[in-house]
Amino acid sequence: MALAGELTRETALVKPKARVFKPVDMPELEYTPGLAKEMAPLYEKVKNVIPSVEWPFFAPYIHAINRLKKERDAVILAHNYQTPEIFHGVADIAGDSLQLAKEATKVEASVIIQCGVHFMAETSKLLNPTKTVLIPDVKAGCSLADSITGADVRLLRETYPGVPIITYVNTSAEVKAESDICCTSSNALKIVESFGVDRVLCIPDEYLAQNIAKQTDVKVIAWKGHCEVHERFTPEELRQYRKDDPNIVIIAHPECPPAVVAEADFSGSTSGMIDWVKKNKPARVVMVTECSMSDNVAVENPDVEFVRPCNLCPHMKRISLKNILDSLVYMREEVTVDPLIAGRARLAVERMINLKN
Ligand code: 13P
Ligand code: SF4
Protein backbone atom coordinates (compact mmCIF):
# COMPACT_ATOMS: atom_id res chain seq x y z
CA MET A 1 0.00 0.00 0.00
CA ALA A 2 1.31 3.46 -0.88
CA LEU A 3 1.73 6.04 1.89
CA ALA A 4 -0.06 9.38 1.50
CA GLY A 5 1.55 11.38 -1.29
CA GLU A 6 3.61 8.43 -2.50
CA LEU A 7 3.29 7.13 -6.01
CA THR A 8 1.95 3.71 -6.76
CA ARG A 9 3.36 1.42 -9.43
CA GLU A 10 0.24 2.14 -11.49
CA THR A 11 0.84 5.90 -11.53
CA ALA A 12 4.48 5.24 -12.40
CA LEU A 13 3.36 3.26 -15.42
CA VAL A 14 1.48 6.18 -16.97
CA LYS A 15 3.60 6.95 -20.02
CA PRO A 16 4.03 10.62 -20.96
CA LYS A 17 2.91 11.53 -24.48
CA ALA A 18 5.82 11.84 -26.91
CA ARG A 19 6.38 15.56 -27.57
CA VAL A 20 7.20 16.83 -31.04
CA PHE A 21 9.64 19.73 -31.22
CA LYS A 22 9.87 21.98 -34.23
CA PRO A 23 13.33 22.07 -35.76
CA VAL A 24 15.40 25.21 -35.24
CA ASP A 25 18.47 26.36 -37.19
CA MET A 26 21.90 26.30 -35.58
CA PRO A 27 22.48 29.96 -34.59
CA GLU A 28 25.33 32.02 -36.06
CA LEU A 29 28.22 32.00 -33.61
CA GLU A 30 30.05 35.18 -34.51
CA TYR A 31 31.71 37.43 -31.95
CA THR A 32 30.58 40.77 -33.39
CA PRO A 33 31.26 44.18 -31.79
CA GLY A 34 27.54 44.38 -30.93
CA LEU A 35 27.64 41.02 -29.17
CA ALA A 36 30.86 41.96 -27.35
CA LYS A 37 29.09 45.08 -26.01
CA GLU A 38 25.97 43.18 -24.97
CA MET A 39 28.02 40.50 -23.19
CA ALA A 40 30.49 42.91 -21.53
CA PRO A 41 28.70 43.01 -18.11
CA LEU A 42 28.83 39.20 -17.86
CA TYR A 43 32.51 39.15 -18.81
CA GLU A 44 33.21 41.79 -16.17
CA LYS A 45 31.80 39.33 -13.61
CA VAL A 46 33.81 36.29 -14.72
CA LYS A 47 36.98 37.94 -16.01
CA ASN A 48 39.13 36.58 -13.16
CA VAL A 49 38.31 32.98 -14.02
CA ILE A 50 37.84 33.05 -17.82
CA PRO A 51 40.88 34.23 -19.80
CA SER A 52 40.12 37.10 -22.23
CA VAL A 53 41.44 34.98 -25.10
CA GLU A 54 38.68 32.40 -24.49
CA TRP A 55 35.80 34.88 -24.16
CA PRO A 56 35.25 35.53 -27.91
CA PHE A 57 34.70 31.78 -28.28
CA PHE A 58 32.36 31.40 -25.27
CA ALA A 59 30.28 34.60 -25.62
CA PRO A 60 28.39 33.67 -28.85
CA TYR A 61 27.52 30.26 -27.37
CA ILE A 62 26.26 31.78 -24.12
CA HIS A 63 24.18 34.31 -26.06
CA ALA A 64 22.70 31.66 -28.36
CA ILE A 65 21.94 29.24 -25.52
CA ASN A 66 20.18 31.86 -23.43
CA ARG A 67 18.05 32.89 -26.44
CA LEU A 68 17.18 29.32 -27.43
CA LYS A 69 16.30 28.37 -23.86
CA LYS A 70 13.32 30.73 -24.06
CA GLU A 71 12.26 29.47 -27.46
CA ARG A 72 12.38 25.85 -26.24
CA ASP A 73 10.75 26.61 -22.86
CA ALA A 74 13.82 25.05 -21.26
CA VAL A 75 15.57 25.48 -17.94
CA ILE A 76 19.22 24.65 -17.28
CA LEU A 77 20.11 22.89 -14.02
CA ALA A 78 23.87 22.89 -13.40
CA HIS A 79 25.94 21.16 -10.74
CA ASN A 80 28.53 23.15 -8.79
CA TYR A 81 31.31 21.30 -10.69
CA GLN A 82 30.36 22.74 -14.06
CA THR A 83 32.88 25.14 -15.60
CA PRO A 84 32.41 28.89 -14.97
CA GLU A 85 31.14 29.70 -18.48
CA ILE A 86 28.30 27.22 -17.87
CA PHE A 87 27.78 27.93 -14.16
CA HIS A 88 27.75 31.74 -14.52
CA GLY A 89 26.83 32.02 -18.20
CA VAL A 90 23.83 29.80 -18.87
CA ALA A 91 22.65 28.02 -15.68
CA ASP A 92 19.21 29.00 -14.36
CA ILE A 93 19.68 26.96 -11.22
CA ALA A 94 23.03 25.80 -9.84
CA GLY A 95 23.66 23.77 -6.72
CA ASP A 96 24.67 20.54 -5.06
CA SER A 97 22.97 17.21 -5.69
CA LEU A 98 20.26 17.78 -3.07
CA GLN A 99 19.48 21.31 -4.20
CA LEU A 100 19.24 20.20 -7.84
CA ALA A 101 16.90 17.35 -6.89
CA LYS A 102 14.72 19.73 -4.86
CA GLU A 103 14.71 22.39 -7.58
CA ALA A 104 13.79 19.75 -10.14
CA THR A 105 10.47 19.29 -8.32
CA LYS A 106 9.63 23.00 -8.84
CA VAL A 107 10.53 23.37 -12.50
CA GLU A 108 7.75 24.91 -14.59
CA ALA A 109 9.46 24.83 -17.99
CA SER A 110 8.61 21.84 -20.16
CA VAL A 111 12.26 20.97 -20.89
CA ILE A 112 15.10 20.42 -18.42
CA ILE A 113 18.70 20.48 -19.65
CA GLN A 114 20.84 18.78 -17.02
CA CYS A 115 24.39 20.07 -16.93
CA GLY A 116 25.89 17.43 -14.70
CA VAL A 117 26.16 13.68 -14.87
CA HIS A 118 23.69 11.01 -15.91
CA PHE A 119 22.35 10.05 -12.47
CA MET A 120 21.40 13.71 -11.92
CA ALA A 121 19.44 13.78 -15.18
CA GLU A 122 17.74 10.53 -14.18
CA THR A 123 16.79 12.05 -10.82
CA SER A 124 15.27 15.06 -12.61
CA LYS A 125 13.33 12.72 -14.89
CA LEU A 126 12.08 10.69 -11.92
CA LEU A 127 10.72 13.86 -10.37
CA ASN A 128 9.35 15.19 -13.68
CA PRO A 129 8.01 12.16 -15.55
CA THR A 130 6.00 14.26 -18.01
CA LYS A 131 8.79 16.71 -18.87
CA THR A 132 11.53 16.27 -21.44
CA VAL A 133 14.89 15.86 -19.71
CA LEU A 134 18.00 16.22 -21.85
CA ILE A 135 21.67 15.68 -21.03
CA PRO A 136 24.20 17.24 -23.42
CA ASP A 137 26.43 14.15 -23.28
CA VAL A 138 24.81 10.87 -22.38
CA LYS A 139 28.25 9.37 -21.57
CA ALA A 140 28.67 11.70 -18.56
CA GLY A 141 28.75 8.95 -15.92
CA CYS A 142 30.11 8.60 -12.39
CA SER A 143 32.50 6.08 -10.82
CA LEU A 144 30.22 5.79 -7.78
CA ALA A 145 27.10 5.12 -9.86
CA ASP A 146 29.08 2.54 -11.85
CA SER A 147 30.25 0.72 -8.71
CA ILE A 148 26.93 -0.98 -7.91
CA THR A 149 23.95 -2.57 -9.66
CA GLY A 150 20.36 -3.32 -8.68
CA ALA A 151 21.28 -7.03 -8.39
CA ASP A 152 24.03 -6.11 -5.88
CA VAL A 153 21.47 -4.28 -3.73
CA ARG A 154 19.05 -7.21 -3.86
CA LEU A 155 21.88 -9.45 -2.65
CA LEU A 156 22.66 -7.02 0.19
CA ARG A 157 19.00 -7.10 1.23
CA GLU A 158 19.15 -10.88 1.43
CA THR A 159 22.41 -10.73 3.40
CA TYR A 160 21.14 -8.09 5.84
CA PRO A 161 17.39 -8.79 6.22
CA GLY A 162 15.51 -5.94 7.87
CA VAL A 163 18.46 -3.50 7.73
CA PRO A 164 17.44 -0.22 6.04
CA ILE A 165 19.22 0.47 2.75
CA ILE A 166 20.21 4.06 2.06
CA THR A 167 21.60 4.75 -1.38
CA TYR A 168 23.63 7.79 -2.22
CA VAL A 169 21.95 9.86 -4.92
CA ASN A 170 25.04 9.11 -7.07
CA THR A 171 23.46 5.84 -8.26
CA SER A 172 21.38 4.65 -11.19
CA ALA A 173 17.57 4.67 -11.00
CA GLU A 174 17.73 0.86 -10.93
CA VAL A 175 19.79 0.98 -7.71
CA LYS A 176 17.57 3.68 -6.17
CA ALA A 177 14.56 1.47 -6.91
CA GLU A 178 16.01 -1.29 -4.71
CA SER A 179 16.66 0.99 -1.76
CA ASP A 180 14.52 2.40 1.05
CA ILE A 181 15.62 6.01 0.73
CA CYS A 182 18.27 8.13 -0.97
CA CYS A 183 20.72 10.53 0.61
CA THR A 184 23.22 13.13 -0.52
CA SER A 185 26.37 14.27 1.24
CA SER A 186 24.42 17.15 2.79
CA ASN A 187 21.75 15.03 4.50
CA ALA A 188 23.39 11.59 4.92
CA LEU A 189 23.82 11.86 8.71
CA LYS A 190 20.20 12.95 9.21
CA ILE A 191 18.97 10.08 7.05
CA VAL A 192 21.16 7.48 8.74
CA GLU A 193 19.73 8.54 12.12
CA SER A 194 16.13 8.90 10.87
CA PHE A 195 15.42 5.16 11.06
CA GLY A 196 16.04 4.94 14.80
CA VAL A 197 17.78 1.58 14.40
CA ASP A 198 21.26 0.46 15.42
CA ARG A 199 22.57 -0.33 11.93
CA VAL A 200 21.95 0.74 8.36
CA LEU A 201 23.50 0.15 4.97
CA CYS A 202 24.79 3.33 3.36
CA ILE A 203 25.95 2.54 -0.17
CA PRO A 204 27.88 2.73 -2.47
CA ASP A 205 30.37 5.40 -1.28
CA GLU A 206 32.65 3.70 1.25
CA TYR A 207 34.33 6.93 2.33
CA LEU A 208 31.09 8.87 2.77
CA ALA A 209 29.77 5.99 4.89
CA GLN A 210 32.94 5.95 7.00
CA ASN A 211 32.88 9.73 7.42
CA ILE A 212 29.24 9.59 8.54
CA ALA A 213 29.93 6.63 10.87
CA LYS A 214 32.36 8.84 12.80
CA GLN A 215 29.52 11.23 13.65
CA THR A 216 26.91 8.77 14.90
CA ASP A 217 26.37 5.74 17.15
CA VAL A 218 24.54 3.96 14.34
CA LYS A 219 26.65 1.21 12.73
CA VAL A 220 27.00 2.16 9.08
CA ILE A 221 27.63 -0.75 6.71
CA ALA A 222 29.42 0.39 3.56
CA TRP A 223 30.08 -0.74 -0.01
CA LYS A 224 33.44 -0.43 -1.75
CA GLY A 225 32.53 2.32 -4.24
CA HIS A 226 34.72 5.41 -4.52
CA CYS A 227 34.61 8.75 -6.28
CA GLU A 228 37.55 8.73 -8.69
CA VAL A 229 38.10 12.45 -8.10
CA HIS A 230 38.02 12.59 -4.30
CA GLU A 231 39.88 9.32 -3.67
CA ARG A 232 42.98 10.88 -5.23
CA PHE A 233 43.49 13.39 -2.39
CA THR A 234 45.91 12.28 0.33
CA PRO A 235 46.44 13.41 3.94
CA GLU A 236 50.13 14.09 3.12
CA GLU A 237 49.05 16.56 0.44
CA LEU A 238 46.85 18.43 2.92
CA ARG A 239 49.60 18.46 5.57
CA GLN A 240 51.94 19.96 2.97
CA TYR A 241 49.47 22.82 2.37
CA ARG A 242 49.53 23.58 6.10
CA LYS A 243 53.32 23.33 6.22
CA ASP A 244 53.58 25.81 3.34
CA ASP A 245 51.08 28.18 4.96
CA PRO A 246 50.10 27.54 8.62
CA ASN A 247 47.19 30.02 8.24
CA ILE A 248 45.58 28.25 5.32
CA VAL A 249 42.03 26.96 5.77
CA ILE A 250 41.25 23.51 4.35
CA ILE A 251 37.74 22.33 3.57
CA ALA A 252 37.03 18.90 2.14
CA HIS A 253 34.16 17.01 0.55
CA PRO A 254 33.00 13.89 2.49
CA GLU A 255 33.62 11.70 -0.59
CA CYS A 256 37.33 12.05 0.37
CA PRO A 257 38.95 9.26 2.41
CA PRO A 258 38.45 9.73 6.20
CA ALA A 259 42.20 10.35 6.68
CA VAL A 260 41.87 13.34 4.33
CA VAL A 261 38.72 14.67 6.01
CA ALA A 262 40.53 14.36 9.36
CA GLU A 263 43.09 16.93 8.14
CA ALA A 264 40.41 19.45 7.12
CA ASP A 265 38.92 22.33 9.11
CA PHE A 266 35.46 21.67 7.72
CA SER A 267 33.77 19.00 5.64
CA GLY A 268 30.48 19.33 3.78
CA SER A 269 28.64 18.90 0.50
CA THR A 270 29.64 21.14 -2.40
CA SER A 271 27.03 23.75 -1.39
CA GLY A 272 27.97 23.30 2.27
CA MET A 273 31.55 24.18 1.29
CA ILE A 274 30.44 27.19 -0.73
CA ASP A 275 28.26 28.50 2.12
CA TRP A 276 31.12 27.96 4.57
CA VAL A 277 33.46 30.13 2.45
CA LYS A 278 30.80 32.85 2.02
CA LYS A 279 30.17 32.93 5.76
CA ASN A 280 33.72 32.61 7.10
CA LYS A 281 35.56 34.52 4.37
CA PRO A 282 38.97 32.93 4.99
CA ALA A 283 41.95 34.85 3.57
CA ARG A 284 43.30 31.69 1.88
CA VAL A 285 41.43 28.47 1.38
CA VAL A 286 41.91 25.17 -0.35
CA MET A 287 38.74 23.38 -1.42
CA VAL A 288 39.51 19.69 -1.51
CA THR A 289 37.06 18.74 -4.23
CA GLU A 290 36.55 18.98 -7.97
CA CYS A 291 38.59 21.71 -9.56
CA SER A 292 35.97 23.93 -11.25
CA MET A 293 34.19 24.65 -8.00
CA SER A 294 36.89 27.02 -6.74
CA ASP A 295 36.60 29.02 -9.98
CA ASN A 296 32.83 29.30 -9.56
CA VAL A 297 33.07 30.37 -5.92
CA ALA A 298 35.96 32.76 -6.60
CA VAL A 299 33.69 34.87 -8.83
CA GLU A 300 31.49 35.77 -5.86
CA ASN A 301 34.29 35.91 -3.26
CA PRO A 302 36.93 38.23 -4.71
CA ASP A 303 38.58 38.78 -1.31
CA VAL A 304 39.28 35.09 -0.75
CA GLU A 305 42.40 33.54 -2.26
CA PHE A 306 41.77 30.02 -3.54
CA VAL A 307 44.59 27.49 -3.71
CA ARG A 308 43.42 25.17 -6.45
CA PRO A 309 44.52 21.55 -6.54
CA CYS A 310 43.15 20.56 -9.92
CA ASN A 311 41.44 17.18 -9.75
CA LEU A 312 38.93 17.27 -12.59
CA CYS A 313 35.89 15.03 -12.89
CA PRO A 314 36.17 13.71 -16.46
CA HIS A 315 32.43 13.00 -16.49
CA MET A 316 31.34 16.49 -15.44
CA LYS A 317 33.79 17.88 -18.00
CA ARG A 318 31.96 16.13 -20.84
CA ILE A 319 29.41 18.95 -20.68
CA SER A 320 30.39 21.98 -22.74
CA LEU A 321 28.70 25.08 -24.18
CA LYS A 322 28.90 23.40 -27.58
CA ASN A 323 26.98 20.29 -26.60
CA ILE A 324 24.48 22.31 -24.52
CA LEU A 325 23.68 24.29 -27.66
CA ASP A 326 23.42 21.05 -29.66
CA SER A 327 20.98 19.78 -27.02
CA LEU A 328 18.73 22.79 -27.51
CA VAL A 329 18.90 22.77 -31.28
CA TYR A 330 18.45 19.02 -31.80
CA MET A 331 16.61 18.23 -28.52
CA ARG A 332 19.06 15.50 -27.51
CA GLU A 333 20.05 13.34 -25.60
CA GLU A 334 16.74 12.52 -24.01
CA VAL A 335 16.93 10.74 -20.63
CA THR A 336 14.23 8.19 -19.88
CA VAL A 337 13.71 5.79 -17.00
CA ASP A 338 12.16 2.36 -17.38
CA PRO A 339 8.59 2.75 -16.04
CA LEU A 340 8.95 -0.57 -14.21
CA ILE A 341 11.62 0.90 -11.94
CA ALA A 342 10.70 4.60 -12.06
CA GLY A 343 7.93 4.41 -9.43
CA ARG A 344 10.11 2.76 -6.76
CA ALA A 345 13.16 4.90 -7.58
CA ARG A 346 11.04 8.06 -7.34
CA LEU A 347 9.76 6.96 -3.96
CA ALA A 348 13.32 6.66 -2.63
CA VAL A 349 14.16 10.19 -3.85
CA GLU A 350 10.87 11.68 -2.60
CA ARG A 351 11.30 10.11 0.83
CA MET A 352 14.64 11.91 1.06
CA ILE A 353 13.24 15.24 -0.11
CA ASN A 354 10.24 14.99 2.19
CA LEU A 355 12.19 13.98 5.28
CA LYS A 356 11.60 16.60 7.97
CA ASN A 357 14.34 17.65 10.42
P1 13P B 1 27.27 17.15 -3.79
O2 13P B 1 27.13 18.25 -4.80
O3 13P B 1 25.94 16.66 -3.37
O4 13P B 1 28.12 17.56 -2.63
O5 13P B 1 27.98 15.92 -4.52
C6 13P B 1 29.23 15.96 -5.06
C7 13P B 1 29.40 15.10 -6.22
O8 13P B 1 30.40 14.48 -6.38
C9 13P B 1 28.37 15.05 -7.21
O10 13P B 1 28.76 14.22 -8.18
FE1 SF4 C 1 30.95 10.94 -9.65
FE2 SF4 C 1 33.08 11.84 -8.34
FE3 SF4 C 1 32.51 12.85 -10.72
FE4 SF4 C 1 30.92 13.39 -8.61
S5 SF4 C 1 33.04 14.01 -8.88
S6 SF4 C 1 30.26 12.80 -10.67
S7 SF4 C 1 31.06 11.47 -7.48
S8 SF4 C 1 33.09 10.74 -10.31
Cα–ligand 2 centroid distance for 116 (angstroms)? 10
Task: Give residue 3's pLDDT.
Answer: 40
Task: Give residue 18's pLDDT.
Answer: 65
267 C-beta closer than 6 A to ligand 1: no
State which ligand 1 atom lies nearest to the alpha carbon of 273: 4
Average pLDDT, the chain: 94
Closest ligand to Cα 205 = 2
Cα–ligand 1 centroid distance for 150 (angstroms)? 21
Average pLDDT value for residue range 68-96: 97
Average pLDDT value for residue range 173-181: 98
Looking at the domain covering 144-226, what would its CATH class be?
alpha beta
321 vs 104: which has the higher pLDDT: 321
Taking 90 as the threshold, does the pLDDT of residue 143 lie above it?
Answer: yes
Question: Cis omega before residue 333 (within 30°)?
Answer: yes
Nearest one of 124, 84, 118, 122 to 101, comparing CA atoms: 124
Q: Where are the domains of the chain?
A: 9-142+317-330, 144-226, 231-312
User: Which residue's alpha carbon is nearest to atom 1 within ligand 2?
Assistant: 142
Cα–ligand 2 centroid distance for 323 (angstroms)? 20
Task: Give residue 22's pLDDT.
Answer: 84
CATH of domain 9-142+317-330: 3.40.50.10800
CB 86 within 8 A of CB 321: yes
Average pLDDT value for residue range 298-310: 93
Average pLDDT value for residue range 282-308: 95
User: Which residue's alpha carbon is nearest to atom 6 within ligand 1?
Assistant: 270
Taking 70 as the threshold, does the pLDDT of residue 185 lie above it?
Answer: yes
CB 176 within 8 A of CB 165: no
Fold of 231-312: Rossmann fold (3.40.50)
Closest ligand to Cα 253 = 1
User: Which residue's alpha carbon is nearest to atom 5 within ligand 1?
Assistant: 97
Nearest one of 202, 131, 146 to 352, comparing CA atoms: 202
96 C-beta closer than 6 A to ligand 1: yes
State which ligand 1 atom lies nearest to the alpha carbon of 79: 2
Task: Give residue 15's pLDDT.
Answer: 53
pLDDT digits (tens, 9 = 90+) for 325-343: 999 999 999 999 999 999 9
3-state secondary structure the chain: CCCCCCCCHHHHCCCCCCCCCCCCCCCCCCCCHHHHHHHHHHHHHHCCCCCCCCHHHHHHHHHHHHHHHHHCCEEEEEECCCCHHHHCCCCCEEECHHHHHHHHCCCCCCEEEEECCHHHHHHHHHHCCCCEEECCCCCCCCCCHHHCCHHHHHHHHHHCCCCCEEEECCCCHHHHHCCCEEECCCCHHHHHHHCCCCEEEEECEHHHHHHHHCCCCCEEECCCECCCCHHHCCHHHHHHHHHHCCCCEEEECCCCCHHHHCCCCEECCHHHHHHHHHHHCCCEEEEECECHHHHHHHHHCCCCEEECCCECCCCHHHCCHHHHHHHHHHCCCECCCCHHHHHHHHHHHHHHHHCCC
Q: Is the dihedral of CA 204, 205, 207, 209 positive or negative?
A: negative
CB 190 within 8 A of CB 212: no
Q: How far apart are CA 34 and CA 60, in angstroms?
A: 11
State which ligand 2 atom lies nearest to the alpha carbon of 315: 3
User: Which residue's alpha carbon is nearest to atom 3 within ligand 1?
Assistant: 97
Closest ligand to Cα 97 = 1
pLDDT digits (tens, 9 = 90+) for 196-253: 999 999 999 999 999 999 999 999 999 999 999 999 999 999 999 999 999 999 999 9
Average pLDDT value for residue range 259-270: 97
Q: How far apart are CA 90 and CA 104, in angstroms?
A: 17
pLDDT digits (tens, 9 = 90+) for 2-25: 443 444 444 444 455 567 788 898
Taking 70 as the threshold, does the pLDDT of residue 135 lie above it?
Answer: yes
Neighbours of 34 (CB within 10 A): 9
Task: Give residue 68's pLDDT.
Answer: 97
State which ligand 1 atom lies nearest to the alpha carbon of 98: 3
HSE on the CB side for 307, CA within 13 Å?
19
350 C-beta closer than 6 A to ligand 1: no
Measured CA distances, 342 to 101, 137, 237, 285, 355 (Å) = 15, 22, 42, 41, 20
Q: Which residues pair with 112 in a beta bridge?
A: 75, 133
Q: What share of the chain in percent tops pLDDT 70?
A: 95
Same fold for the domain at 9-142+317-330 and the one at 144-226?
yes
State which ligand 1 atom lies nearest to the alpha carbon of 119: 10
Cα angle, residue 227 at apex, residues 226 and 228 outer, rounded to 5° = 105
Measured CA distances, 310 to 166, 239, 339, 351 (Å) = 31, 17, 39, 35
Q: Where residue 307 falls among pLDDT bands split at 50, 70, 90? A: very high
Q: How far apart are CA 64 and CA 3, in angstroms?
A: 45
CB 178 within 8 A of CB 153: yes
Supply the pTM of this predicted model.
0.92
